[in-house]
Chains A and B, each alone.
Chain A
Amino acid sequence: MKFFSSIFLSLILTLVAAVSAGKDLPKIAVWDLEARNIPATHAKELTSILVSEISKLEKYEVYSQDNVRTLAGWTTQRMKLGCNDTQCLIALGQMDIAKLISGSVGKIGTRYSISLNLFDTQKVKAENAVSEFCDSENELIELVQRAVRNLLGEIKREVGKQQLRVFGIKDKCEVPIWNVGDKWIYQNTDGSMRVEEVIGEEEDSYILSSGGSKGYDKKTMNIKWLITPKGKKEKYNKGNKKLFDFPLYVGKHWEVDYSGYAPVETRSVEYKIEYKIENIEAVSIKAGIFQAFKIRMTQMRWDLGLGGTVIWWYSPQVKNWVKRQTNDQRFFRETEWEHNAELFTYELK
């Protein structure tokens, strides 16, 4: 595994070097992430992913720790000392390496952490540092990708671009226009994926496939009908028809009352849902960084006096929601459509 990991890192660095050879890009060295209370192979893999993420930016020529060791002629013992000291930073500068990233990945209790440091070899000092955390090993890949972009100031820059593009012209969001073939892939917290795709369009509705098929009113995006497991088209009257009440704008408030099926009790019960659009904010998720309307949905069950909150982030750019977060997993445990999830990738035709 370690062997293949090294080959993979070699390939990445070779390709990066080949691509960037003619561009005269600033050079950045990536020191192997230190493993703290996690397997060393994980740290090695995450180092490879970190290198790959930097290369995607096409702003740096990336050097590995091994490159540095060979070029400087340092011993393995010297390399073990790390590269946070002045001597090492000076030596990197003499290799024309402008920046150094070093850090660690670790586990404390049940939580995982990634800490990265960015050094400037010309100033011979630390320039930035970030620490990011997650709850499961499955999230480490995305965490390291996000952390390194954050470290290099890319997230701020991307958010800045998004603000220019979205704010000012889209402070009021009209009902989206979908096209056949538009597709959104969401990832749940357990890593499972769910695909939503516009598979058809009729005069007044879009047909969205997401396990089953539903018809969405083009003017309101309310659910009009569904296709039953037996293939029969039925009017939708068993659940919440209105998720978003377009147009969306900050401060808007709406309510929905509906009778819904309670799976545990196997009967229909009365729900009341209140929505409020709180603000527009940047959301950093696997699919990218988006400006989104933050919509707080509070759902109540009158008969039991119970309730829970789900926050949705809707992005006009994506024409759909990009993130969903519940504050009460117990209340929503039987309704999959209200569990935590975020957009993994999407495609608009």
Chain B
Amino acid sequence: MKYKAIPILICLLFSPTLPPSAYAQPHIGEKTPGFITSTLDGKRIALKDFWEQQGKKVLVLSFFATWCQPCKEDLRYLQKVQDQHGDKGLQVVAVLTQDTSKEDRVRNFMGELGVTLSVLMDEYGIIGKRYAVTALPCNFVVDKDGILKAKYFGYGEDVKKRFENQLMGLLLKP
């Protein structure tokens, strides 16, 4: 009888059959979770390409949905930030999550906002889940080495101020 507990104990000890990086919440100061997905135009892209193929850039990942009202203002704001700092090595990328809208619908949505940011698709919500996105909009700031530096929920003046301070600091670094 007592031996029956052994396999259970082994299971408890080693229950994370899941490689830790798959489930761990992204922590500030650690490598940002990678992913491979499609752009709105159907081009396949890996997140690491932003560092490995496109030169070192500060990356902002902005999770949004077409049904999310605050996301509209956030995207317009991020477009302005991109226009101002794009030449300094900033790349803002919008990630469509928790949204089953078709590509045309998303294109129209972005067009109406006047936003031309690259859009990555998270049609199964997996990327959002891995980044622990529990509210929208949700923005992540990643430095030129792929390290996650900040995470912001919502859209407001306080958030914008903190976001801009963080961004400026990172853009100034070589």
A residues with a Cβ closer than 8 A to B are 3-4, 7, 9-11, 13-14, 16-18, 20-21, 24, 27, 61-64, 66-67, 70-73, 87, 90-91, 93-98, 121-124
Q: Are B21 and A21 in contact (CB under 8 A)?
A: yes
Q: With an 8 A cutoff between CB atoms, is B7 at the interface?
A: yes
B10-52: contact bitstring with A at CB < 8 Å (1 yes, 0 no)?
1100111111111100000001011111100000111100000
Q: Are A71 and B17 in contact (CB under 8 A)?
A: no
User: Which residues from B are CB-within-8-Å of A27?
Assistant: 19
B41-70: contact bitstring with A at CB < 8 Å (1 yes, 0 no)?
000111100000000000000000000000
SS of A interface (majority) = helix
User: Which residues from A are CB-within-8-Å of B45?
Assistant: 122
Binds A, one of B83-91, B106-114, B123-131, B135-143: B123-131
Q: Are B38 and A96 in contact (CB under 8 A)?
A: no
Q: Are A98 and B36 in contact (CB under 8 A)?
A: yes
User: Which residues from A are CB-within-8-Å of B74?
Assistant: none
Give the nearest-CB partner of A98 in chain B.
Answer: B36
Q: Are A4 and B11 in contact (CB under 8 A)?
A: no
Which of A13, A20, A93 is within 8 Å of B17, CB to CB?
Answer: A13
Q: Are A90 and B22 in contact (CB under 8 A)?
A: no
Shortest A22–chain B CB gap in Å is 10
Instruction: Determine the distance from Cα of A225 to Cα of B48 in the docked complex, in whole angstroms.
Output: 66
User: Which residues from B are CB-within-8-Å of A63?
Assistant: 18-19, 22
User: Which residues from A are CB-within-8-Å of B129?
Assistant: 71, 73
Size bin of chain B's contact surface = 20 to 34
Instruction: Determine the distance from Cα of A91 to Cα of B38 in the docked complex, in whole angstroms.
Output: 11
Which of B10, B14, B20, B35 is within 8 Å of A96, CB to CB?
Answer: B35
Instruction: Determine the distance from Cα of A193 to Cα of B79 in the docked complex, in whole angstroms.
Output: 70
SS of B interface (majority) = mixed
Q: Which of A14, A91, A96 counts the most B-chain CB atoms under 10 A from its CB?
A: A96
B residues with a Cβ closer than 8 A to A are 7, 10-11, 14-23, 31, 33-38, 44-47, 122-124, 126-127, 129-130
Known pairs A66-B18, A70-B18; list 9 more (Cβ under 8 Å).
Answer: A9-B17, A11-B14, A24-B31, A63-B18, A72-B124, A90-B38, A91-B124, A96-B34, A122-B45
Which of A13, A16, A72, A98 is within 8 Å of B126, CB to CB?
Answer: A72
Q: Are B44 and A93 in contact (CB under 8 A)?
A: yes
User: Which residues from A are CB-within-8-Å of B7?
Assistant: 3-4, 7
Q: Are B18 and A93 in contact (CB under 8 A)?
A: no
Give the nearest-CB partner of A68 in chain B.
Answer: B22
Q: Are A94 and B19 in contact (CB under 8 A)?
A: no
Q: What 6 pairs across the A-B complex have the smallest Cβ distances?
A: A17-B19, A93-B36, A10-B17, A96-B34, A94-B126, A122-B36
Shortest A302–chain B CB gap in Å is 65
Q: Are B36 and A96 in contact (CB under 8 A)?
A: yes
User: Which residues from A are CB-within-8-Å of B46?
Assistant: 93, 98, 122
User: Which residues from B are CB-within-8-Å of A18?
Assistant: 20
Q: Are A94 and B44 in contact (CB under 8 A)?
A: no
Instruction: Determine the distance from Cα of A96 to Cα of B22 in the docked complex, in whole angstroms.
Output: 9
User: Which residues from A are CB-within-8-Å of B31?
Assistant: 24
User: Which residues from A are CB-within-8-Å of B130?
Assistant: 71, 94-96
